[in-house]
Amino acid sequence: MQQVFTKSMARNIFLGGAAFFLIIYLVLTYDSWQQIPKRDHADQMTPAVIAGKYLVDTHDCIGCHTINGEGSYYAPELGNVYKRRGGAFIEAWIRAQPTGVAGRRQMPQFNFTQSQLDDIVAYLKWLSNIDTNNWPPNIQG
């Protein structure tokens, strides 16, 4: 017995598949929107964290660094730098730039005030508490 594959059968298969995957897409999108507030700790954003994020954004830190995998891979990941190094190290490191060590990549001197450094550290501390499903895969970013 030979069966003919008609245009209407092809159309029905296409429309059924498109509808199925649209429903899957919508369900996964809804689930993502439900999970984001549980992971990002947006309720813990203090004025210092917001000011630190503003400084990181306006000084184009992701032009060299990555933040949770987004940005440039020239310099280390910032999403977990607070856990790796701590706030005192971060402040001292930013103040000491550029180091002048031959053969090393150099970070520019931004001449941040102590208040601005505190805000950046507060933002990086907040950033380190985001549940990123163990991203980046290695601790150094």
- Tens of pLDDT, residue by residue over 69-111, are 889 989 989 999 999 999 999 999 999 999 888 888 889 999 9
Structure tokens at 86: 């701590």
Q: How many domains does the chain have?
A: 2
28 and 46 part of one domain: no
Determine what percent of the chain is predicted with pLDDT higher than 90. Answer: 65
Question: Does the pLDDT value for residue 20 go beyond 80?
Answer: yes
Which range marks the domain in which residue 24 is found?
1-40
Please state, rounded to an integer, the average pLDDT across all residues of the chain.
91
80 and 57 part of one domain: yes
19 and 68 part of one domain: no
Q: How confident is the model at residue 2 (pLDDT cuts 50, 70, 90)?
A: low
For residues 111 and 74, what is the distance between their CA atoms, to the nearest angstrom? 21
Average pLDDT value for residue range 5-11: 92
1 and 22 part of one domain: yes
For residues 60 and 40, what is the distance between their CA atoms, to the nearest angstrom? 22
Domain CATH code at residue 86:
1.10.760.10
For residues 54 and 105, what is the distance between their CA atoms, to the nearest angstrom? 24
pTM: 0.75
Q: Report the number of secondary-structure helices (H) and strands (E) in the chain.
A: 5, 2
Q: How confident is the model at residue 1 (pLDDT cuts 50, 70, 90)?
A: low
Place of tokens 């439900």: 34
73 and 108 part of one domain: yes
Q: How big, in percent rounded to 5, are the helix, strand and coil portions of the chain? A: 55, 5, 40
26 and 62 part of one domain: no
The continuous run of DSSP H or E covering 20 comes out as helix 7-40
Structure tokens at 131: 């549940």
54 and 120 part of one domain: yes
